[in-house]
Amino acid sequence: MSDERKYVEELSDVEDDFDRWYVEVVRRAELADESPVRGTRVVRPYGFALWENMQAELDRRIKETGVQNAYFPLFIPQSMLAREAEHVEGFAPEVAWVTRGGNKELEEPWAVRPTSEAIICPMYARWVQSYRDLPILINQWNSVVRWEERPRAFLRSLEFLWQEGHTAHATLEEAEERTRLMLEVYRDFVETELAVPVIPGRKTESEKFAGALRTYTIEAMMGGKKWALQSGTSHNLGDHFGRVFGIEFLDRNGERRYAFNTSWGLSFRMVGAVIMVHGDDRGLKLPPRVAPIQVVIVPIWRKESEREAVEAAVDRVRDALLPVARVFVDRRDDKTPGWKFNEWELKGVPVRLEIGPRDVANDQVTLVRRDTHEKQAISITDLAGRITEILDDIQANLFAAASRMLAENTVEIDSYDVLKERVAANAGFSRAYWCGSEECEDRVKAETKATIRCIPFDQPEAPGRCLVCGEAAQQQVIWARAY
Amino acid sequence: MSDERKYVEELSDVEDDFDRWYVEVVRRAELADESPVRGTRVVRPYGFALWENMQAELDRRIKETGVQNAYFPLFIPQSMLAREAEHVEGFAPEVAWVTRGGNKELEEPWAVRPTSEAIICPMYARWVQSYRDLPILINQWNSVVRWEERPRAFLRSLEFLWQEGHTAHATLEEAEERTRLMLEVYRDFVETELAVPVIPGRKTESEKFAGALRTYTIEAMMGGKKWALQSGTSHNLGDHFGRVFGIEFLDRNGERRYAFNTSWGLSFRMVGAVIMVHGDDRGLKLPPRVAPIQVVIVPIWRKESEREAVEAAVDRVRDALLPVARVFVDRRDDKTPGWKFNEWELKGVPVRLEIGPRDVANDQVTLVRRDTHEKQAISITDLAGRITEILDDIQANLFAAASRMLAENTVEIDSYDVLKERVAANAGFSRAYWCGSEECEDRVKAETKATIRCIPFDQPEAPGRCLVCGEAAQQQVIWARAY
Ligand SMILES: [Zn+2]
Ligand SMILES: [Zn+2]
């Protein structure tokens, strides 16, 4: 593709055609690409570096709660996956099956893991004998496969990258505590590192994880169509899996009991969230804390005589910033500065430094923020001291903007007609009382395609009336369409 | 399992029954466990932490050479895997095939990747148009599947964890340079971090990677039977894959050319190497640089009245060491100190600190080295300052011991009868002249089960006579049995 053409075509308008904008920005910013394997995507280095930064930070937080990483097999024999009835019913339709290996037909098909409860729980059954062996706190980073014909980079694909945590406990209370703790780890991670505000809450019975006692979730609002993205879930599995897989132990009193389990996962769809929450007509806008490149330096000169002085200043600035920021110098000689500005804006780099002959003369750089487009001259001597504060300010500014978007597009309503209008108009989240019946839930879903994203933890004091049937309702829920 | 019984049974003798010792130490040190999925193993947290430390260090070194990480799909459609003839011939017999997905039969089976050349090269063909798009330097950390009925934890399993690097270049010379560079990265990593000395060299035609122009390897000598372990390989693929997958570009002169590729991998079999090279009758002996726990603290008291002072000293020591070492305090109250000493020796922790009432009284700790069993009293004040030096000394000592083992069990020979005896006696590596014919190579393999591990880079000046046929030979090779 000709480089010049690439920027002559503008990106699709964010508001006009958000879905198309998403596809274009993913491709042009080189986050991911099509793949010859139907249903999958290739994650390119720039997209993967973003995910690696997320991984490093989330991994650190998970480990701080006492969890260790491990690795369990990719394959799960069919009979093992089938042991927990609800679980297999939920996942079987999406499974990829290995039926041949080493030139032989297998006696029993092997599932490529859609999630690992059914292979991890049998191991826990071997490792747990006594209450002293509990809790078990294990996480793994891997890829899982769920059949998907219409992939969308990061958001929905046949294979996706995630972490899945699996714990076993002596009591239901302890399992509940862990389930909520991990949801809080997710909330803090997503809000602090990705600058994406979320609404934490519980899933309804019909939306919970297959086989779980209860599922908690954090739900974020995406830009454009203001749809919801389920951003991390944490499941209290009760003792369902403990009973089915025989995770038995002797408690302090010598009584035989079944262990209680939790599982929780967060996937690279959060790369999609970062794109959709912060992006604009110029492309990505990456939160500094996870941006692969935080500061890009573009050297500028016209005459060969200016070159040496500019390059010396560029080196000096880069060396000063390296200890405090992830810096990249764009030295390509076949691209104009203007072209580079566009490209790094498209790629969402938080800070651009332009260094030209006039900057050199004044011992300064021209700093341009990706979030505000604000331009300022900063003396080279002050730069290293100020850059951290500027990056922090950009991070805070992105979070504030996303929080405003969430607040402005979340409305408390008490009329089903209004819900229908809001959903049809892509107007955002609607908060309303719900009686708790699956019938009302199903009806709204069938009639509007909106679902209950969660029953938020944050609830009003007073009860109300169900938006759909008008019956007494104890709690409010968030209705929205979701990716 | 009863804890007491666990240590009443001694480990099998390293020299007597090395294979059994290996299995026991892997299980008892909780590095890995059996799995309900035939051919696979579960990597437990202690084993995975060891692998994570290796990963972090190797990843850093790989990135320092300009390589970026990315992620390509797990599945490769059959027709795509079949495009490079030698490649598919080499891997097809070991492939696991997905034939059903989402409740439908697939039109074409998908291979679970045995290695990723066949899915990565088609992407490079899309990304490369001009010499300016080269080189492409990408690595990925993933798991691959090669059918295996007789697994051996870390060394041989149906699914294994590794990194696979894939690069594309404008010239064969540049590809060769990269191939050798990555072998050197592996050599330095394995020797420096794992304290395992290796012999770098080239594979023979019959031992090279399926589809490669040439394969380089580092070969290590394991303890016990003194067999070889191929520890990392780096392949110059020439333009075979470039031609087959159409990685075409316009060079500086506007001429259409095919790109040259390399690939290189190192797997978690290096966890196996660490076990087998350094272990002894008491269990593991982990190199401090990758040990999950570098220093274990065992508090000791008999009377409850001693407890408080001991615990205060333990906390003080731990806090002092945390900034300089990976420390763990074994506070379990249902195990005796003696039991704990055995367990941490089994788990190979480089340094044990015993803190009892007498230590407290003298403001000291009793430090025991895992490598020499040497015991010394060290004042608490000096400890943090000395621990780094002690850990470095242990690392150096392990490397020196392994280097002696390699040197003492590598012999230059000029008689095929001696080779047969040495192989039968598990006497180590035999270095001998080889004429270069596949016939001699095959004959030795058939008659002794030894193979040419590599043609070492380090060669004598003078030519000689082939060990097998007596013909003129330009080079020496290393003969050995291998895992
Ligand atoms: Zn209702
Ligand atoms: Zn010969």
pLDDT of residue B3: 44
Whether the Cβ atoms of residue A158 and residue A40 lie closer than 8 Å to each other: yes
**Partner-chain contact A75 B159, CB within 8 Å:** yes
Residue in A45, A73, A112 nearest the CB of B70: A45
Distances in Å between the alpha carbon of A371 and those of A349, A351, A368, B57, B312? 9, 9, 9, 35, 51
Work out the average pLDDT over B66-85: 95
Per-residue model confidence as pLDDT tens digits over A225-261: 999 999 999 999 999 999 999 999 999 999 999 999 9
Whether residue B367 is predicted with pLDDT greater than 70 in this model: the reply is yes
Instruction: Using an 8 Å CB-CB cutoff, list chain A residues near B101.
Output: 95-97, 147, 158
Per-residue model confidence as pLDDT tens digits over B200-239: 999 999 999 988 999 999 999 999 999 999 999 999 999 9
Distances in Å between the alpha carbon of A350 and those of A49, A132, B362? 15, 49, 56
Per-residue model confidence as pLDDT tens digits over A368-379: 999 999 999 999
Per-residue model confidence as pLDDT tens digits over B425-434: 999 999 999 9
Rounded to a whole number, what is the distance in Å from the CA of B68 to chain A's nearest CA?
6
Could you tell me the distance, in angstroms and rounded to a whole number, from the CA of residue B467 to the centre of ligand 2?
Answer: 7
pLDDT of residue B216: 98
Give kind and range of the element (H or E) at residue B452: strand B451-456
Q: Where residue B9 falls among pLDDT bands split at 50, 70, 90? A: low
Instruction: Using an 8 Å CB-CB cutoff, list chain A residues near B159.
Output: 73-75
Q: Where residue B262 falls among pLDDT bands split at 50, 70, 90? A: very high
pLDDT of residue A87: 83
Residue window 125-164, chain A: list those with CB within 8 Å of chain B: 126-127, 129, 132, 138, 142-143, 145, 147-149, 158-159, 161
Higher pLDDT, A426 or A150: A426
Residue in A35, A44, A96 nearest the CB of B101: A96
Could you tell me the distance, in angstroms and rounded to a whole number, from the CA of residue A392 to the centre of ligand 1?
Answer: 45
Nearest CA in chain B to A51: B70
pLDDT of residue A9: 60
User: How many Cβ atoms are within 10 Å of A332's Cβ, its own excluded?
Assistant: 13
Per-residue model confidence as pLDDT tens digits over B317-355: 999 999 999 999 999 999 999 999 999 999 999 999 999
Whether residue A4 is predicted with pLDDT greater than 50 in this model: the reply is no
Per-residue model confidence as pLDDT tens digits over A421-457: 999 999 999 999 999 999 999 999 999 999 999 999 9
Work out the average pLDDT over A313-330: 98
Instruction: Using an 8 Å CB-CB cutoff, list chain A residues near B42.
Output: 70-73, 123
Whether residue B480 is predicted with pLDDT greater than 80 in this model: the reply is yes
Q: Where residue A3 falls among pLDDT bands split at 50, 70, 90? A: very low
Q: Where residue B149 falls among pLDDT bands split at 50, 70, 90? A: confident
Work out the average pLDDT over B468-482: 97
Rounded to a whole number, what is the distance in Å from the CA of B37 to chain A's nearest CA?
7
Instruction: Using an 8 Å CB-CB cutoff, list chain B residues near A143.
Output: 71, 74, 142
Instruction: Using an 8 Å CB-CB cutoff, list chain B residues near A40.
Output: 73, 75
Q: For residues A395 and B25, what is the distance between their CA atoms, to the nearest angstrom?
A: 49
Q: What average pLDDT does chain A have?
A: 95
**Partner-chain contact B68 A48, CB within 8 Å:** yes
Phi, psi of B302 (to 5 degrees): -105, -50
Phi, psi of B155 (to 5 degrees): -80, -40
Nearest CA in chain B to A133: B1
Q: Where residue B443 falls among pLDDT bands split at 50, 70, 90? A: very high
Q: Where residue B12 falls among pLDDT bands split at 50, 70, 90? A: confident
Q: For residues B146 and B91, what is the distance between their CA atoms, to the nearest angstrom?
A: 8
Whether the Cβ atoms of residue A301 and residue A356 lie closer than 8 Å to each other: yes
Whether residue B5 is predicted with pLDDT greater than 70 in this model: the reply is no
Phi, psi of B429 (to 5 degrees): -90, 140
Is B122 within 8 Å of chain A by CB?
Answer: yes
Residues of chain A with pLDDT > 70: what percent? Answer: 98
* Sheet containing B429-434, strands listed edge to edge, beginning at the edge strand earlier in sequence: B68-69, B136-145, B159-169, B260-267, B228-238, B214-221, B198-202, B451-456, B475-480, B429-434, B410-412
Work out the average pLDDT over B143-154: 93
Residue in A49, A80, A101 nearest the CB of B147: A101
pTM of the full structure: 0.96
* Residues lying with their CB under 5 A of ligand 1, a single-atom ion: A 435, 437, 440, 466, 468-469
Residue in A44, A122, A126 nearest the CB of B70: A44
Whether residue A141 is predicted with pLDDT greater than 80 in this model: the reply is yes
pLDDT of residue B2: 39
Is A253 within 8 Å of chain B by CB?
Answer: no
Write down all domains in chain B, each with its CATH number in brackets: 6-278 (3.30.930.10), 295-394 (3.40.50.800), 410-480 (3.30.110.30)
**Partner-chain contact A159 B73, CB within 8 Å:** yes
Q: For residues A83 and A79, what is the distance between their CA atoms, to the nearest angstrom?
A: 7
Q: For residues A133 and A169, what is the distance between their CA atoms, to the nearest angstrom?
A: 9
Residue window 64-93, chain A: list those with CB within 8 Å of chain B: 68-77, 80, 92-93
Residue indicated by tokens 């039991």: B339
Nearest CA in chain B to A47: B70
User: Residues 6 or more apart from A405 whose CB is under 8 A from it?
Assistant: A221, A223, A226, A277
CA A474 to the chain's CA centroid: 31
Distances in Å between the alpha carbon of A77 and those of B37, B114, B312? 7, 20, 51
Rounded to a whole number, what is the distance in Å from the CA of A94 to chain B's nearest CA?
5
Instruction: Using an 8 Å CB-CB cutoff, list chain B residues near A47.
Output: 70
Whether residue A307 is predicted with pLDDT greater than 60 in this model: the reply is yes
Distances in Å between the alpha carbon of A125 and those of A120, A190, A242? 9, 33, 8
Residue window 90-119, chain B: list those with CB within 8 Å of chain A: 92-103, 109-110, 112, 119
Residue in A42, A70, A147 nearest the CB of B43: A70
Q: For residues B92 and A410, what is the distance between their CA atoms, to the nearest angstrom?
A: 55
**Partner-chain contact A42 B334, CB within 8 Å:** no
pLDDT of residue B4: 42
Per-residue model confidence as pLDDT tens digits over B447-463: 999 999 999 999 999 99
Is A123 within 8 Å of chain B by CB?
Answer: yes
Could you tell me the distance, in angstroms and rounded to a whole number, from the CA of residue A37 to the centre of ligand 2?
Answer: 47
Could you tell me the distance, in angstroms and rounded to a whole number, from the CA of residue B472 to the centre of ligand 2?
Answer: 8
Ligand positioned closest to the Cα atom of A474? 1
Give kind and range of the element (H or E) at residue A172: helix A172-194
Look up residue A427 and give its two tokens: 């107007």
Work out the average pLDDT over B251-272: 97
Could you tell me the distance, in angstroms and rounded to a whole number, from the CA of residue B440 to the centre of ligand 2?
Answer: 5
Q: Counting beta carbons within 10 angstroms of the beta carbon of residue B170, is it exposed (0 to 12), middle (13 to 18) or buried (19 or more)?
A: buried
User: How many Cβ atoms are within 10 Å of A463's Cβ, its own excluded?
Assistant: 12
* Residues lying with their CB under 5 A of ligand 2, a single-atom ion: B 435, 437, 440, 466, 468-469
Whether residue A278 is predicted with pLDDT greater than 70 in this model: the reply is yes
Q: Report the DSSP beta bridge partners of residue A163.
A: A141, A266
